[in-house]
Amino acid sequence: MIVRSERKSPRRALALLAVTVAAAGLTACSSNDDGKPAATEIVYVTAGASSSTPAASSAPVPTQKGAAGLRTSYAALAKTLGQPVGVSIVPVGGGAPIDLGDQTAQVAWSTIKVPLAIAAQRKNGVLAAETPAIVNSDNDAAESLWSSLGTDAQAAAAVTAVLREGGDTSTTVPSVRRRGEFTIFGQTVWALPAAATFAAHLPCLPDSKHVVTLMGQVAGNQQWGIEVIPGRSTAVKGGWGPSLDGGYVVRQLGLLTRKDGTQVAFALSTHAPGASMNSGIAALNQVGTWIGAHLAAMPGGRC
């Protein structure tokens, strides 16, 4: 078993078979995506597999066009996942979300580092901390971006303003710590349709190019979900952490570029009481494979 820290994971480790958090390391300080005062998330990677891409979905390819066909196909896929997974799909440039599966609103964890990095860059210019915050999901780096925005109230307002600019009209970033051991911003409740809408506007926002580029370079601890689709240009930010019921929330914000140059935005999330981070990643990988197989039926767009 190979041990890799958040800061050292290689790009696109397609030999990844499973990502697990060792039971002995499951503490608030060492293993959780937005744990505070964690400096590094430790990821254990089991090597030796030829590919991390799960077997193709048994769900049928939709015979109907558009959202109706996708819903029919996803309903079949959902029966094979082992735990609930929600997906929201929006064409880049904006449009009505296509919402599939479990739409229970969960906390954002590190997916909220995307609008945080944009807010910090707008105030301070490009900061060195943006790279580890996005590429490695480093918590100390993200905390420094947050601090650069002023008081907690000022930082919350600045990140919320970026969400509003990205078409998210409902999400508000908190200014007080909701769970003592975790970051303030990571506990933002971010519904999937709102997150996907923001992702759809993200590449069109001023000052977003650098952050989107970093999302295309994420380390091995975030190479799941739509990252398992072969031969496609992706930009993602993962987020994960323990829920109060003992389960794990695992989620992803992402952009996928199709062969015709149009782009599709996604927000994915999974959670079940008692479920592990490993099972959440496995479920999102199955959904990622399904997305790759049905990409032609999904609405794409441009800025």
Q: State pLDDT tens for residues 208-254.
A: 999 999 999 999 999 999 999 998 899 999 999 999 998 999 999 99
In a domain, 77, yes or no: yes
Please choose, from the candidates 177, 221, 160, 154, the residue with its C-alpha nearest in 3D space to the C-alpha of residue 37.
177
User: Tell me, what's the pLDDT at 212?
Assistant: 98
User: Using DSSP, how many helices (H) and how many strands (E) does the chain show?
Assistant: 8, 10
Half-sphere exposure of 276 (CA within 13 A, CB side): 11
Question: What token pair was written down for 101?
Answer: 């599966």
In a domain, 53, yes or no: no
Burial group, residue 201, by CB count within 10 angstroms (0-12, 13-18, 19+): buried
Q: What is the CATH number of the domain that holds 251?
A: 3.40.710.10
Question: What token pair was written down for 100?
Answer: 């599939």
In a domain, 221, yes or no: yes
pLDDT(153) > 80: yes
Question: What token pair was written down for 7?
Answer: 């800061």
Give the total residue count for the chain: 303
Q: Which of 24-38, 64-78, 157-171, 237-251 has the lowest mean pLDDT?
A: 24-38
In a domain, 184, yes or no: yes
The boundaries of the domain holding residue 104 are 65-297
User: Would you state the torsion angle of the CA atoms of residues 144, 150, 156, 159, taken in this order, to the nearest 10 degrees?
Assistant: -70
In a domain, 213, yes or no: yes
d(CA 119, CA 97): 25
In a domain, 8, yes or no: no
- % of the chain exceeding 70 in pLDDT: 79
pLDDT(17) > 50: no
d(CA 245, CA 170): 25
d(CA 83, CA 136): 26
- pTM to 2 decimal places: 0.82
Q: Considering its fold, how many domains does the chain have in total?
A: 1
In a domain, 101, yes or no: yes
User: Tell me, what's the pLDDT at 33?
Assistant: 57
In a domain, 103, yes or no: yes
